[in-house]
Structure 1
């Protein structure tokens, strides 16, 4: 098994049985085998040229292992596959997400407006890789290095939403003050996280606000809020303290969440003052 200095297998991850992505992974594995045989190479030969064992190559060909996009890119060159393997790089990138994250990433990609209130950690879309890794390493019971790497990759890949245009989604974040001051992962990790917030906060379609701890009125006492709105007029949202914490698309429920979120935004610092607050928090680290 190929292992990097991060202690995880870089060839990809096992396919979850029954996952809807399984047929696609199997098709890509079959294509890999066809390309290998057409190139006159044995599985062991391809493994040696790619830096993997024969067993790992055969697992990918059987659709039991999700190949990394980088693997397909290099294999396309080695096997002279003329772009046929590269054509599936994006599919395999998405396949690497855990199933629940894959659904979330799909909704985020379709949403034209997104509203988020977070009270414990920096929101996932705003997290740096180091900060996300620190959070997953704190999970109890402990996660394996492979699971941590998969979760971190899925979370940080979702940040590509900030590069989306035509049109760019409207993104609104309200963060509790404590999430900017608790140095999860250490001061160096938190320093880079705050620097990242200052960069993202300058984007024209992004609003980041800070909810000060000293507020004597707070509409967010029932926990985090997430609302995603789509261009067909539908939406989906959830909150820890409403509707049993489950996602809802009921118009009445959504109005309640939007009312709470609107009040939270009004109680928080305005975006420009919030960026100044983040700069000061960075200076204190």
Structure 2
């Protein structure tokens, strides 16, 4: 099974904040609950206000810059490498994630000037000492090592979350398609009435459905059948890929649409393929929907 991927989640600011909060929390727990650091609450510098400022401003808020840049790099890297499909097998998933290792290993050199400069200014304003900046906040092997673990967590965390979300979406879409197809097959016929009594009307014979004098009729050519359901009920029941409601009183079979043209006041004329080229009036909004559905139909035929 192949999974189609997009990286829209990595554009979401909520994902940036949530990822920053989760990874920073994990990192702080690992550091401050390490046996060597269990006495940090007894330090003379400890206070709950200092802890709040450190965790939520110095760490989570500022690291949102890091996360946003890493997400940006992942999106651009995926676009450059055309990583928009993956085969759902353990080996293929592992290879997919390994392909992102270079960008995550090098991300520090992109985000460091931004993240560390903001942190430096936060610590030193209003009297920043720039010599201290180049000694402690500029590129260094120590800083790279400090940021390597969080960078990998940021990157691989969002990649795996994105995979799970995309998989669930595709699974739900597949289920929805199967359900629609099953329901469509169940509704290939409608109860109708002609001059002789009640009949089963094959849906594929219907060219359009109209509401006239508070009654609903299906037109199949020269025949006209009265239906029990109203327009809204039929709109729900019929295959949405084939039948489209173009105004309050008309549903058309898209396979019988001939053409359309502008009329007046943002209204359009829709013509059918019958001998008299029956015309209906519709809005621009409905026209856009017809264009989309007709394109889908042509793609399926090809």
TM-score (structure 1 length as normaliser): 0.22
Point out the structure with max Rg over C-alpha: 2
Higher helix share: 2
Greater share of strand residues, 1 or 2?
A: 2
Query: More relative contact order in 1 or in 2 (CA 8 Å, sep 6+)?
Result: 1
